[in-house]
Amino acid sequence: MTTAAREAATPNMASHPKPGLADAWRDASTEAMRHLRIIPRNPELLGFSTIQPVMFIVLFNYVFGGAIEVPGFSDYQQFLIPGIFAQTMVFNSSFTAVGLADDLSKGLIDRLRSLPIARSAVLVGRVFSDIARTVLTFTTMVIVAFLIGFRFEGSVAGAIGGTVLMMAFAISFSWIQAFIGMSVGSVEAASAASFIWMFPLTFVSSAFVDPASMPGWLQPIANHNPFTRLVNATRALYNGLPPGEHLWWSLFWIAAITVVFAALSIRRFSRVTN
């Protein structure tokens, strides 16, 4: 078979009409369901991803709770738990990088690209399926947090608003992870690259301690950390306090990260699959 004949026989997304928004959303939903159907077949992955944040809650609360005092909070639990919630959602975004790297290494994305589906459906479907998995983990963490004494001391609207804010932040970080997953050469590299930058981001913040207790040169970094803005806003909403400027900064970072890295990810996706 000649080269021209092979190219004519090979389906290519460029030969299909571009789908509209409704078609793109349907394609992304189908792709998300494909990933979610895998969870019952691999319960160990969901189990281990749930055990880690539960361990963080229990260890930080009982090991450090008696030694750490935070101004404005009589109970360390009320200060700690929102930070662990936020950290877990950010950490769970690493599934996006690992999953995309795995699909690329197996050639699965090339096969999806040959179908008449929206170009963005593969990425959007992956991101939202990982968020669905994060919701399951978050539900387990809330149950454990209540068992050790944590309470939503603010309004119901505040609790819902803080949770939605964390979910939106996790979605924005999933786009960073999507870009990482398509930029590295293997699943192992994606696993390492997706975590290495999140540890300083989440620990040099107000998630576990007041930044005022840090060295002077580190305090400005912690105070202006986007993750600190998220944790402070969520903590205030959960405890019935005014979130102030932290809410607006969190929304800014969510929008900025999503716009920049969604565009970079889609562009990278087009390059690696051509």
Angle between helices 43-59 and 76-92 (to 10 degrees): 150
Q: Pull the structure tokens for residue 216.
A: 């002077």
At 41 the pLDDT is 65
Quote the distance between the C-alpha of residue 13 and its chain's center: 29
Specify the DSSP class assigned to residue 186: S
**Strand stretches in 20-166, DSSP E:** none
Residue 172's contacts (CB-CB under 8 Å, 6 or more residues apart) are 253, 254, 255, 257, 258, 261
DSSP secondary structure string, 228-267? HHHHHHHHHHHTT---THHHHHHHHHHHHHHHHHHHHHHH
What are the sequence ranges of the domains in the chain? 3-272
At 5 the pLDDT is 47
Q: What pTM was estimated for this model as a whole?
A: 0.82
Cα–Cα distance measured from residue 166 to residue 247, given in angstroms and rounded to the nearest whole number: 11
pLDDT tens, the chain, 274 aa long: 444 444 444 444 444 445 566 666 677 777 767 666 666 666 666 666 678 888 888 888 888 877 787 877 878 889 999 999 999 888 888 888 888 888 888 777 777 766 666 666 778 887 877 787 888 889 889 999 999 889 999 899 999 999 999 999 999 999 999 899 888 878 888 888 888 899 999 999 999 999 998 999 999 999 999 999 999 999 999 999 999 999 999 999 999 999 999 999 888 887 876 6
Cα–Cα distance measured from residue 189 to residue 194, given in angstroms and rounded to the nearest whole number: 8
DSSP secondary structure string, 58-92? HHIIIIITTT--BTTBSSHHHHHHHHHHHHHHHHH
Cα–Cα distance measured from residue 39 to residue 133, given in angstroms and rounded to the nearest whole number: 9
At 1 the pLDDT is 45
